[in-house]
Amino acid sequence: MDDVSKLMRRHTYVTKISTSFIYAILVSIAVNFFWTPGHIYSSGITGFAQLLTTISSRLMPFTISTGLGLFLLNIPLFLLSWRAIGHEFTIFTIITVFLSSFMIQLLKPIPLTHDPIICAIFGGAVNGFGTGLALRNGISTGGLDILGIVIRQRTGKSIGTINIAFNSLIIISAAIMYGWPYAFYSVLSLIVNARIMDMTYTRQQKMQVMIITNRPNTVIDSVQNHLRRGITIVHNAEGAYRHDAKTILFTVISRYEMGELEEALLESDPNAFASISDSVKILGRFYEPKP
């Protein structure tokens, strides 16, 4: 068992490092092929690094490159992550941010087009896919992700307000540097980035599941063997057509777990009826894997 465990752990490490490298390539393409030529700012720390590059090139005798700025701005967050989240998580975050900074530095801006709309859309799409892929494989891309995890662990609250305020500052800076049209193009890029990221990374999307079955114990065992989810049982339900006894099961899953739920139902009761809908808000305890 120890050999199997070591092999699985090694496979996980290789997957994470490979994903970090893929993310680094994608974010460098977004920055150097689209955002920089189109004068578009990203969100979060990457956008702040771009802003530092613009300010230093205009007002200082030397220019702080986006790649270097990205790594330097993340250093305080690395320290916070090391103390508050975990060493393994922090090490992979450092690897991801270092590779991203290196690739951004290595790939010089190539202006495929200067059309700001095209640059905003494709830059946001490429970066959103890379970020979603990284999150899907349990990798943090650094920046405000770390702050968000720490605040959520300690208070149970998200940093939505902080994110909005930080990104609003970047958008206003884009307006000051390049004019308000470019600020709105940056907003467009943020929207595309978020949309593509949500399509790629589905673990944070919650769904309410209602299962109607006449084999409740078998279904419950199968679902809980596949998923770490609590289930609420409603007894004494009745089918209106045949008036046979039914049991209703309620649970909440992430969209990421849809495949496992379907597999569990096929194994336990192929005739079960399941209704799945998006959940707007969850109050109370909902298990999420630790980073």
- Each residue's pLDDT, cut to its tens digit, for the chain (291 residues) gives 466 667 777 878 888 899 999 999 999 999 999 999 999 999 889 999 999 999 998 888 888 999 999 999 999 999 988 988 888 888 999 999 999 999 999 988 777 888 999 999 999 999 999 988 888 887 888 888 787 777 766 766 666 667 778 888 889 988 888 889 999 999 999 999 888 887 887 666 688 899 999 988 999 999 988 888 889 999 988 888 888 889 999 998 887 778 888 888 998 998 899 998 876 677 767 666 665
3-state secondary structure of 206: strand
Neighbouring C-alpha atoms within 13 Å toward the C-beta of 236: 0
The set of residues, in sequence order, having a beta carbon less than 8 Å from that of 30 and lying 6+ positions away, is: 42, 122, 123, 124, 126, 127, 130
> Residues 91, 136: contact at Cβ < 8 Å?
no
Q: Sheet of 245-254: strands edge to edge?
A: 232-238, 245-254, 206-213, 273-278
What DSSP state is assigned to residue 143? T
CA dihedral (55, 59, 63, 64) positive or negative: negative
The set of residues, in sequence order, having a beta carbon less than 8 Å from that of 257 and lying 6+ positions away, is: 227, 229
Per-residue confidence (pLDDT) for residue 31, from 0 to 100: 94
Per-residue confidence (pLDDT) for residue 88, from 0 to 100: 86
> Residues 268, 221: contact at Cβ < 8 Å?
yes
Distance CA 85, CA 96 (A): 16
Per-residue confidence (pLDDT) for residue 3, from 0 to 100: 65
Q: Which residues pair with 207 in a beta bridge?
A: 253, 278
3-state secondary structure of 47: helix
Per-residue confidence (pLDDT) for residue 125, from 0 to 100: 94
Beta-strand pair 206-213/273-278: antiparallel
- What is the pTM assigned to this prediction? 0.76
**Cα separations in angstroms, 30 against 55, 75, 109, 290:** 20, 22, 10, 29
CATH architecture of 206-278: 2-Layer Sandwich (3.30)
Q: Where in the chain is the domain with CATH 3.30.70.120?
A: 206-278
